[in-house]
């Protein structure tokens, strides 16, 4: 057996370091411990069992010998006396172990988690969402026209673009979210406990920040943009295969819509038909500290949301109420969340607001539906 002494001079510190790795990287660390330290391949369940048995074995040896004992010695004794593993263990130093653990779970170029980690953790995150009856949103991101960047500026600049996008994604996500480099110019953001509308707000913030960024290189300045797709458990998908497929499908909708946008997967497209509506609107943030109203003009509307123009750039995620004339009976009050803000050539802002029907009554929904039905019938007659 080849023995390479662990460099930590204190076995208790060594065990604390290992425990810290387990707490940081999760249960998948258990099989990696035995694979790297002893060249053994265990399932997650078996590795977890053997690790805890090893700690018990260590304590029993310490009680009998009455003196400190190196962890490598304990591990060798456990492997050769407690179980018939049939091979000679291989032991390495803890610094090498930590390095291999990190490279097995993180992308070398960006420092984000890698695709292998994503595949391992998605099932676990979905099981957690099922257990606690919570939402789990998945965002697929693809850098627009990345091949042209490589062709025009070179692969070194292309790597810089990938790192820049990764840095922006990492700076915008919450502590509970997971940012992953899926491969090439593709990224994934996994958002536990996040409903579709909140995932869209985060995705739009990432998209907007990337669109406003410029990467300065020796070969010239590079403007970047991304397209994205969002799908959510359980409203869209019932398992991890569906969640991945639907988020990827929504991404391709964004590509087809002209890129530099985020799409949310919706199975029933007709229910979310949008029509042009050109009416004055009044907008007020839903904030007890704010009583100011802003004027604007609607552009289009659907059951899922409304697009309007305003001179005020509302922040993404702002809850607002909007008043609009949809019929001859009087103004209609809409409540929702700002999910998109775009500066137009007229120095105005296009504001996308997703409607919150939990906060609206059936009458309002009915009024919008009637507007859509009338427009649909008009279109059919023209055909």
- What is the domain-level CATH number for residue 178? 3.30.70.270
Whether 374 is in a domain gets the answer yes
Q: What is the pLDDT of residues 259-301, one digit of tens each?
A: 899 999 876 443 445 688 899 999 998 876 667 889 999 998 8
Among residues 48, 80, 105, which one ends one of the domains? 105
Other Cβ atoms closer than 10 A to 236: 23
Residues 276 and 366 in one domain: yes
Residues 35 and 63 in one domain: yes
Among residues 202, 235, 267, which one ends one of the domains? 267
189 neighbors 173 (Cβ within 8 angstroms): yes
Whether 4 is in a domain gets the answer no
What integer pLDDT is reported at residue 370 of this predicted model? 61
Over residues 83-103, mean pLDDT = 59
Confidence category of residue 89, pLDDT binned at 50, 70, 90: low
Parent domain of 238: 113-267
Q: Which residues contact 193 (CB under 8 A, 6 or more apart)?
A: 129, 134, 135, 136, 176
pLDDT above 80 for 145: yes
Query: For residues 239 and 352, what is the distance between their CA atoms, to the nearest angstrom?
Result: 30
Q: How many residues are present in the chain?
A: 383
Q: Which residues contact 106 (CB under 8 A, 6 or more apart)?
A: 112, 113, 114, 117
- Of 304 and 301, the one with more pLDDT: 301
What integer pLDDT is reported at residue 29 of this predicted model? 81
- Of 140 and 85, the one with more pLDDT: 140
Residues 256 and 142 in one domain: yes
Whether 1 is in a domain gets the answer no
Query: For residues 136 and 155, what is the distance between their CA atoms, to the nearest angstrom?
Result: 35
Whether 217 is in a domain gets the answer yes
Average pLDDT, the chain: 81
Task: Kindly report the backbone phi and psi dihedral angles of residue 55, in degrees, each rounded to the nearest multiple of 5, phi listed first.
Answer: -65, -40
Residues 220 and 98 in one domain: no
pTM of model > 0.75: no
- Of 353 and 376, the one with more pLDDT: 353
- What is the domain-level CATH number for residue 285? 2.40.10.220
Q: What is the pLDDT of residues 15-29, one digit of tens each?
A: 777 788 788 777 878
Whether 2 is in a domain gets the answer no
Of the given ranges (96-100, 260-264, 281-285, 302-306), which has the lowest mean pLDDT? 96-100
pLDDT above 60 for 1: no
Residues 231 and 135 in one domain: yes
Whether 3 is in a domain gets the answer no
What integer pLDDT is reported at residue 364 of this predicted model? 53
pLDDT above 80 for 379: no
Residues 146 and 260 in one domain: yes
Residues 118 and 254 in one domain: yes
Q: Tell me how many domains the chain contains.
A: 3
Q: What is the pLDDT of residues 210-253, one digit of tens each?
A: 999 999 988 889 999 999 999 999 999 999 999 998 998 889 88
Whether 353 is in a domain gets the answer yes
- Of 309 and 37, the one with more pLDDT: 309
Whether 336 is in a domain gets the answer yes
Among residues 89, 105, 121, which one ends one of the domains? 105
Q: Are strands 294-302 and 305-310 parallel, antiparallel or unpaired?
A: antiparallel
Residues 136 and 258 in one domain: yes
What integer pLDDT is reported at residue 61 of this predicted model? 87
Residues 99 and 119 in one domain: no
Among 120-124, 134-138, 347-351, the range with the most confident prediction by mean pLDDT is: 134-138
Residues 53 and 191 in one domain: no
Confidence category of residue 10, pLDDT binned at 50, 70, 90: low
Q: C-alpha distances in angstroms, 234 versus 89, 231, 354? A: 45, 9, 19
Residues 260 and 280 in one domain: no
Over residues 331-347, mean pLDDT = 84
Query: For residues 107 and 240, what is the distance between their CA atoms, to the nearest angstrom?
Result: 22
Residues 240 and 361 in one domain: no
What integer pLDDT is reported at residue 97 of this predicted model? 59
């Amino acid at each position: 057996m080849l023995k390479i002494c662990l460099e930590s001079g204190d076995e208790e510190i060594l065990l604390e370091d290992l425990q810290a790795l387990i707490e940081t990287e999760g249960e998948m660390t258990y099989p990696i411990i035995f694979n790297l330290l002893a060249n053994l391949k265990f399932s997650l369940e078996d590795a977890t069992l053997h690790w805890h048995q090893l700690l018990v074995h260590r304590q029993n040896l310490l009680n009998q010998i009455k003196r400190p004992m190196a962890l490598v010695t304990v591990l060798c004794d456990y492997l050769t006396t407690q179980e018939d593993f049939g091979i000679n263990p291989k032991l390495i130093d803890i610094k090498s172990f930590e390095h291999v653990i990190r490279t097995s779970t993180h992308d070398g170029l960006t420092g984000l988690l890698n695709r292998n980690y994503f595949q391992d953790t998605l099932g676990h995150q979905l099981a957690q969402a099922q257990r606690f009856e919570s939402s789990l949103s998945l965002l697929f991101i693809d850098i627009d026209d990345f091949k042209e960047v490589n062709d025009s500026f070179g692969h070194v600049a292309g790597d810089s673009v990938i790192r820049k996008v990764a840095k922006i994604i990492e700076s915008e996500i919450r502590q509970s979210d997971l940012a992953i480099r899926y491969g090439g110019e593709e990224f994934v953001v996994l958002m536990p406990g996040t409903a579709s509308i909140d995932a869209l707000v985060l995705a739009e913030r990432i998209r907007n920040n990337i669109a406003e960024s410029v990467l300065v290189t020796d070969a010239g300045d590079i403007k970047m943009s991304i397209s994205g797709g969002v799908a959510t458990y359980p409203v869209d998908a019932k398992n991890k295969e569906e969640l991945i497929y639907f988020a990827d499908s929504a991404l391709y909708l964004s590509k087809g819509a002209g890129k530099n946008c985020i799409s949310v997967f919706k199975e029933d497209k007709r229910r979310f038909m949008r029509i042009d509506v050109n009416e004055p609107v009044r907008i007020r943030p839903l904030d007890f500290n704010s009583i100011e109203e802003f004027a604007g003009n609607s552009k289009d509307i659907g059951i899922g949301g409304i697009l309007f123009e305003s001179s005020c750039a509302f922040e993404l995620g702002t809850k607002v109420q909007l008043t609009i004339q949809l019929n001859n009976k009087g103004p209609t009050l809409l409540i929702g969340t700002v999910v998109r803000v775009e500066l137009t050539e007229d120095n105005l802002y296009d504001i996308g607001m997703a409607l919150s029907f939990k906060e609206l009554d059936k009458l309002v929904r009915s009024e919008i539906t009637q507007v859509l039905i009338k427009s649909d019938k008009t279109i059919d007659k023209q055909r």
